[in-house]
């Protein structure tokens, strides 16, 4: 999964993460993923929460802590971290991990390389961490080459850059040609009743729960959460209550029922303007209903994120061209689904289940389209912008990049980068090269050093 760098490590050494990996990898090896896409009920994406860290502050009665300012980076000079004033941004609530497990193959979960190691690290911000290591990395680095656990593009075997140090490039869509996210609204019964088929796809979805419905507490959503899916906020009453209260009640339900903090929201009926006041305080995005592809450098309004609602009965003929366009144009397509035909739940414009299953297989076979949750792709989109906007400063023979994350941002996320050459490090730890063609950079650290 993507949440393998907890918030309490924002201003501590990356070696702490490497130590946790070393301590747990031996016992976790039995949970290694296979190259087949499988449903593993032990894999966790958002995870469980315990106590809040730092000085507690509440927003709308939620168990969240917020800082006064956005993240201030700690720059590394010559590989040695300097301790400066660093403040963490956004909502940071500490969490604990459930069991270890991963998806494999397909478009979710890394492609199995030589040896696969899974390791568990304490989670944060409502997300539990499962570190998945595949393929090979830089010799001499104590860190895994794929700490984010995001799917790896390509077959591997890409040589580590050895040219002139510098020329940092932050890869769009985690190194894939495009991305696509599927979200399901309303906690409808045709979602729940088709659990086996949907979970058997081995790819992560986002489930936007209308928490006032009895179905929102169905055990299906707990199992989906444990399998690496995202649970998001679709309000308590689907818009019939006051906006702020309706959102906060749903957020409290997600906490009390599933012990997670929702970081993304889908406004009822696409009425995003009604919720702007509360969404900018709590979420990285609010999904709307106006269809458009999202480019990696677009100035997209994250509080009215475009999304496609498929027509009633839609199958491969309608779905596949959407994935084709995302792939060919190098963009992100989001999809809003309510349920499937043949049910009695009153789902808006239900789609054909078999057609949807065939479509997901079609996208997985492409191999270069990232199927990710709204949270994972949205956080990558924002994180990439932050790092790409950084201007390096020269400190001795080093180039140091420093960035600031949005005030609301989930901890534990990474971006993938390439350079012409040089040694990349964070907090004095050398970053390993992943032979699928990238280095992974922890966003929480706030800085990156490139040395000769």
Mean pLDDT of 365-384: 98
Q: Output 279 or 65, whichever has higher pLDDT.
A: 279
Q: How far apart are the C-alpha atoms of 294 and 301, rounded to whole Å?
A: 10
> Looking at 186-318, which runs of residues are DSSP E strands?
206-209, 230-233, 264-266, 285-287
Q: How far apart are the C-alpha atoms of 76 and 101, rounded to whole Å?
A: 34
Least confident of 19-23, 35-39, 116-120: 116-120
Are residues 190 and 161 both part of a single domain? no
Are residues 240 and 114 both part of a single domain? no
Output the pLDDT for position 138: 52
Backbone angles phi and psi of 255, in degrees to 5: -70, -50
Q: Which residue among 326, 348, 375 closes a domain?
A: 375
Beta pairing class for 169-170 and 414-418: antiparallel
Are residues 393 and 367 both part of a single domain? no
Are residues 148 and 228 both part of a single domain? no
Least confident of 105-114, 156-165, 174-183: 105-114
Least confident of 117-121, 244-248, 319-323: 117-121
Are residues 352 and 416 both part of a single domain? no
DSSP label of 445: G
Q: How far apart are the C-alpha atoms of 354 and 152, rounded to whole Å?
A: 27
Q: Output 208 or 44, whichever has higher pLDDT.
A: 208
Mean pLDDT of 286-306: 97
Least confident of 115-119, 201-205, 304-308: 115-119
Tell me which H or E stretch contains 260: none
**Host domain of residue 397:** 7-175+389-451
Output the pLDDT for position 239: 82
HSE-CB for 31 with a 13 A CA cutoff: 23
Are residues 160 and 300 both part of a single domain? no
Q: Which residue among 332, 349, 375 closes a domain?
A: 375
Tokens of 229: 């899916």
Q: How many residues does the chain have?
A: 452
In a domain, 380, yes or no: no
Are residues 212 and 338 both part of a single domain? yes
Residue 163's pLDDT band (cuts 50, 70, 90): very high
Q: Is 231 left (phi over 0), alpha (psi -120 to 50) or beta?
A: beta
Are residues 112 and 190 both part of a single domain? no
In a domain, 136, yes or no: yes
Q: Which residue among 321, 347, 375 closes a domain?
A: 375
Q: How far apart are the C-alpha atoms of 376 and 381, rounded to whole Å?
A: 9
In a domain, 383, yes or no: no
CATH code where residue 360 lies: 3.20.20.370
Backbone angles phi and psi of 323, in degrees to 5: -70, -40
Mean pLDDT of 291-298: 98
pLDDT tens track for 318-327? 999 999 999 9
pLDDT tens track for 342-352? 999 999 999 99
pLDDT above 80: residue 54: no
User: Quick one: which of 431, 419, 429, 371 has its CA closest to 162?
Assistant: 419
User: Quick one: which of 161, 199, 153, 195 has its CA closest to 178?
Assistant: 153
Output the pLDDT for position 221: 98
> Looking at 112-229, which runs of residues are DSSP E strands?
117-124, 127-133, 169-170, 178-185, 206-209
Q: How many domains does the chain have?
A: 2
Tokens of 377: 């792709």
User: Quick one: which of 132, 98, 108 has its CA closest to 118?
Assistant: 132
pLDDT above 60: residue 451: yes
Q: What is 232-256 written as a DSSP string?
A: EE--SSTTSS-HHHHHHHHHHHHHH
Distance (Å) of CA 306 to CA 172, 240, 272, 316: 18, 23, 11, 21
The percent of residues in the chain predicted with pLDDT above 70, rounded, is: 69
Tokens of 191: 């979602």
């Amino acid at each position: 999964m993507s949440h393998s760098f907890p918030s309490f490590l924002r201003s501590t050494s990356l070696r702490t993460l490497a130590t946790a990996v070393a301590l747990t990898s031996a016992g976790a090896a039995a949970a290694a993923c296979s190259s087949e896409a499988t449903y593993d009920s032990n894999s966790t994406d958002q995870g469980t929460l315990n106590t809040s860290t730092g000085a507690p502050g509440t927003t709308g009665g939620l168990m969240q802590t917020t800082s006064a300012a956005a993240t201030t980076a700690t720059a590394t000079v010559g590989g040695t971290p300097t301790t400066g004033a660093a403040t963490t941004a956004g909502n940071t609530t500490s969490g604990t991990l459930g069991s270890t497990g991963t998806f494999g193959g397909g478009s979710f979960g890394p492609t199995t390389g030589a040896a696969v190691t899974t390791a568990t690290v304490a989670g944060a911000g409502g997300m539990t961490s499962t570190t998945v290591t595949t393929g090979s990395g830089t010799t001499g680095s104590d860190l895994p080459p794929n700490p984010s656990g995001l799917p790896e593009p390509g077959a591997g075997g890409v040589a580590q850059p050895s040219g002139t140090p510098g020329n940092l490039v932050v890869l769009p869509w985690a190194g894939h040609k495009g991305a696509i996210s599927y979200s399901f609204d309303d906690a409808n019964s045709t979602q729940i009743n088709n659990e086996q088929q949907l979970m058997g796809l081995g790819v992560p979805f986002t489930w936007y729960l209308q928490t006032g419905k009895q179905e929102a507490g169905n055990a299906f959503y707990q199992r989906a959460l444990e399998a690496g899916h995202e649970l998001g906020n679709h309000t308590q009453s689907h818009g019939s209550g006051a906006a702020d209260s309706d959102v906060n009640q749903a957020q409290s339900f997600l906490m009390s029922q599933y012990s997670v903090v929702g970081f993304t929201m889908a406004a009822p009926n696409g009425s995003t303007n009604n919720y702007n006041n509360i969404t900018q305080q709590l979420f990285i995005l609010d999904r709307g209903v106006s269809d458009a592809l999202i480019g990696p450098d677009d100035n997209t309004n994250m509080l009215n994120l475009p999304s496609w609602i498929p027509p009633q009965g839609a199958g491969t003929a309608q779905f596949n061209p959407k994935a084709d366009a995302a792939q060919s144009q190098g963009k992100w397509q989001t999809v809003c689904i309510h349920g499937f035909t043949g049910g009695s739940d009153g789902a808006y414009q239900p789609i054909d289940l078999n057609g949807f299953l065939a479509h997901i297989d079609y996208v997985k076979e492409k191999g270069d389209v990232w199927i990710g949750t709204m949270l994972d792709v949205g956080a990558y989109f924002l994180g990439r912008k932050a790092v790409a906007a950084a201007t390096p400063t020269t400190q001795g023979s080093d180039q140091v990049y420093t960035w600031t994350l949005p005030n609301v941002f989930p901890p534990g996320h990474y971006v993938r980068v390439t350079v012409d050459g040089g040694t990349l490090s964070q907090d004095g730890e050398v970053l390993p090269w992943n032979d699928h063609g990238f280095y992974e950079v922890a966003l929480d650290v706030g800085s990156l050093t490139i040395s000769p």
